[in-house]
Chains A and B, each alone.
Chain A
Amino acid sequence: MRILSLAGRRLAASIPTLFLILIGVFLLLQLAPGDTVDALMAQMGGGDAATAHELRKFYGLDLSVPAQLANYLWHLMRLDLGFSSIYGKPVATVILERLPPTILLMTASLSFAFFFGLVFGVIAARGVNRWPDTVISTFGLIFYATPSFWFGLMAIVVFSVYLQWLPPGGFEDIGTVQTGIWRALDIAAHLVLPTLTLGLIFLAVYLRIMRASMLEVLNLEFIRTARAKGLDETHVITRHVLRNALLPMVTLIGLQAGTMLGGSVVVESVFSLPGLGRLAYESVVQRDLNTLLGIVFVSALLVIVVNFVVDLLYARLDPRIAAEGS
């Protein structure tokens, strides 16, 4: 019950911020030259002025900017995200269709990065300034510095073109209709390369953070105490160091959840995945205001939720931090 009321208060406090963000994005997009009809004309390869006028009326662009904004906010109050001009259907439907691939890809790559970042971070910290540390840190830096589109393309060339082990793109096999477990396996096969591509970049960050925070905790007094009282090294690491060193990692997950819904335009494009990142990119290029604002709205909601969960996790990891700060 206490958690629920806390959640409610958090949400209420975020509403003004949410509105400011939406108004900001709306106005920012007005600054970009051209509207969705110009973008449509560019796509069609031309059209006459009468057609353009008709289309502006059709998309509700003949209204003034404040009127459009008021219109949008009024619809939003009634939880109506409006109509997408590129897709010709409600924004909520469009976003819901794109959510599963995005969430699947992002949870998979974040889990991958978190788990291996943690393992390699611990190994590197334990062998600090010796060869395991050097090897792990070097690879981490290489992954971090390599552009993801290159990684993705190289992965496709090696695993799909030459070895032909994995599909080069798409979310699932179109040729055959699969159901149940086979469909799940098929989707999993399609997600291996994008998960690795995206995960390797996150991995480097988690690895560095984990290593640094392990080293910091290892030098604290209570670790010396633990060792002095005769605990073996594995025990010290898992029970004492790890739990304390995890706090920065959890903070990072909370921060990265924001980018989660935004997805990754590059990886989604290279692997032709129907994710939210590509949707957001397309709605900017096509000046589809409603869709873009819808994505911003949903992402903002998600960030609020994830940060709330992160706060609860803090309290769990470190009992000194009370859930309510009182």
Chain B
Amino acid sequence: MDLSRLEINRRTALLTSAAIAANVINPMRAFAQETPRKGGVFNVHYGAEQRQLNPSIQASTGVYIIGGKIQENLVDLDANGQPVGVLAESWEATPDGKTVTFKLRKGITWHDGKPFTSDDVAFTAMNMWKKILNYGSTLQLFLNAVDTPDPQTAIFRYERPMPLNLLLRALPDLGYVSARHLYESGDIRQNPVNLAPVGTGPFKFVKYERGQYIIADRNPDYWRANAPYLDRIVWKVITDRAAAAAQMEAGELHYSPFSGLTISDMARLGKDKRFIVSIKGNEGNARTNTIEFNFRRKELADIRVRRAIAHAINVPFFIDNFLGDFAKLGTGPIPSTSTDFYPGPDTPQYPYDKAKAIALLDEAGFKASGGNRFALKLLPAPWGEDISLWSTFIQQSLSEVGIQIDIVRNDGGGFLKQVYDDHAFDLATGWHQYRNDPAVSTTVWYRSGQPKGAPWTNQWGWEDKAVDKTIDDAATEVDPVKRKALYAEFVKEVNTELPVWMPIEQIFVTVITAKARNHSNTPRWGSTSWHDLWLSA
């Protein structure tokens, strides 16, 4: 197919870029000297309802956007992405990395009036983070016990060294605490409190009408002085993206998080003075677009074919024409937003080079007969417009070098089953979510020995002992400098072998009313407690 047909989209993409660029500086307005105003209702777009709301047992933005205002974590990230205490006041680790002690804040009570103590932390860590929480169960695999010598001290004891910087970067997401007295008896998953959460946070749960809305009101006994400012938060369940954009314009919604609107609506609202459209405040939710190779196909087991595929796709062209400023060129599994671990672009890269791609394929022995070399089945994940566009772009690009692509579309459950359990794919494409530290959800994409059926893990039929060793060493390395060096080595290795290619970096886009103040001021703002958020008159 002729790529010049894509030109139609160039104009929209350029307009989009301009609109976003103009608005990225807008959040600065929030820092002008204004006296914070108390009161007001903040209406939030809630696109996909979850099965429950407790962030101690489910790590996903769909839970944090609500549960993160009601329950709190031990630590969170500050404006510079550095760990800052929330329920924990301070922490220290022993030099061997096997013991981490948290000092907890005094005088905090749960919304039902009971005091918050280290017993709650120990119970949550051992019964929820270690046993139920997705990614938590991997992180806390070697957690042996949590000792509670007094109500303000929780001592985490590990069997193997736990790097403190890994724990502190994982806990903002994987460190929400639940009340022991409410979960002690019965099955934690079935506990009705999961749908009517009780926490220590700035907002108290009021009501949840499934399919309609969730309400939380100001917690008058909140432990931070003068917080929160808002009287109430209402999350409105709106599944249709275009309808949500119309509700923003009608003033019925103040905030649509995590790229909840269509790309064209975000571009349009970006030009409207009433809204701020920005990627700021989402740096902690970076993701990369992938191409996952199935090594069970003999063609794809050949490294020359994988490299040829990468060389055949003009990624900068795709980003410029389809994603605008919502995305940038990626350089590997660790995105550039991860200041602690990003190894720089100086690792093996595969720039667009059609001639080289053709040469590599010829060299591998897959000659074109009648223009066709071989056919591959591509499975795109159903989340996000960008994946759908990207899969079509892959199809068109590869047809130019003689590889025919059949796109097979599935819904979420079907995609995960076919790729990560049945291995019924040749190429798959979706998102890799980076969670502030490569050990949380990145290295599982490359470490061999992943159980069949575990989504977003190495199911490629690929194994590399050297890579496995680098991953294992980094996971228990206590020295931050050495850890960073090990992850740089890891990126170099996987970019050379290319079992998965991660050529695009994206950050979620926020659409929020220009009346909001103190918003988007931390790298995971949409998930945080919003204790300082206020609405100007």
Contact = CB atoms under 8 A, between A and B. Distances in A.
A42 B190 contact: no
B454 A278 contact: no
Contacts of B126: none
Contact of B250 (A36, A94, A160): A160
B179 to A, nearest CB: 19
A90 interface: no
Contact of B134 (A51, A86, A97): A51
A174 B413 contact: no
A282 B234 CA distance: 22
Contact of A51 (B137, B210, B240, B410): B137
Interface in A162-183: 164, 167-171, 174-175
Given A86-B51, A269-B240, A34 B210 contact: no
Interface size classification for chain A: 35 or more
B418 A156 contact: no
B532 interface: no
Given A43-B62, A156-B246, 20 more contacts: A32-B413, A38-B414, A40-B51, A45-B59, A45-B456, A46-B455, A47-B134, A85-B51, A86-B51, A87-B210, A97-B210, A161-B249, A168-B243, A168-B247, A171-B212, A174-B234, A175-B234, A269-B239, A269-B243, A285-B411
A274 B46 CA distance: 14
A50 B137 CA distance: 9
Nearest to B246: A156
Interface string A270-285: 1110100011001011
B211 A48 contact: no
A279 B211 contact: yes
A96 interface: no
Contacts of A157: 246, 249
A278 B243 CA distance: 15
A161 B246 contact: yes
Interface string B405-418: 00000111111111
A124 to B, nearest CB: 34
Nearest to A285: B411
A174 B213 contact: yes
Contacts of A58: 189
Interface residues of B, number: 60
B389 interface: no
Interface in B431-460: 433, 441, 450-456
Contacts of A152: 243
B209 interface: yes
B451 A285 contact: no
Interface string B390-412: 00000000000000000000111
Interface in B47-92: 48-52, 58-62
B451 A49 contact: yes
Nearest to A98: B211
A52 interface: yes
B195 interface: yes
B236 interface: yes
B239 A278 contact: yes
A286 interface: yes
A309 interface: no
B93 interface: no
Interface of B: 41, 48-52, 58-62, 132, 134-135, 137-138, 189-190, 194-195, 209-213, 215, 234, 236-240, 242-243, 246-247, 249-250, 252, 383, 410-418, 421-422, 433, 441, 450-456
Contacts of A272: 212, 236-240, 243
A33 interface: yes
B43 to A, nearest CB: 9
Given A86-B51, A169-B252, A33 B454 contact: no
A168 B246 contact: yes
Given A86-B51, A167-B252, A269-B240, A42 B455 contact: yes
A39 interface: yes
A44 B411 CA distance: 15
A88 to B, nearest CB: 6
A285 B382 CA distance: 11
A211 interface: no
A148 B422 CA distance: 38
A280 to B, nearest CB: 12
Contact of A46 (B49, B410, B418, B456): B456
Nearest to B215: A174
Interface string A21-38: 000000000001111101
Contacts of B414: 32-34, 38
Contacts of B211: 98, 274, 278-279
A13 B383 CA distance: 45
B301 to A, nearest CB: 24
Contacts of B137: 47-48, 50-51
A270 B243 contact: yes
A141 interface: no
Contacts of B132: 51, 54
A168 B43 CA distance: 14
A85 B41 CA distance: 32
Contacts of B209: 274
A46 B243 contact: no
B417 A34 contact: yes
B243 A286 contact: no
Interface in A236-295: 269-272, 274, 278-279, 282, 284-287
A100 to B, nearest CB: 12
Contacts of B252: 167-169
Contacts of B236: 169-170, 174, 272
B210 A274 contact: yes
A42 B419 CA distance: 12
Contact of A48 (B134, B213, B239, B249): B134
A149 interface: yes
A179 to B, nearest CB: 16
A49 B452 contact: yes
A46 B419 CA distance: 14
Contacts of A167: 252
6 contacts: A36-B413, A47-B454, A50-B137, A58-B189, A157-B246, A169-B252
Given A85-B51, A169-B243, A46 B413 contact: no
Contacts of A284: 411
Contact of B413 (A33, A49, A88, A282): A33
Given A85-B51, A279-B211, A42 B134 contact: no
B243 A39 contact: no
A279 B49 CA distance: 12
A41 interface: yes
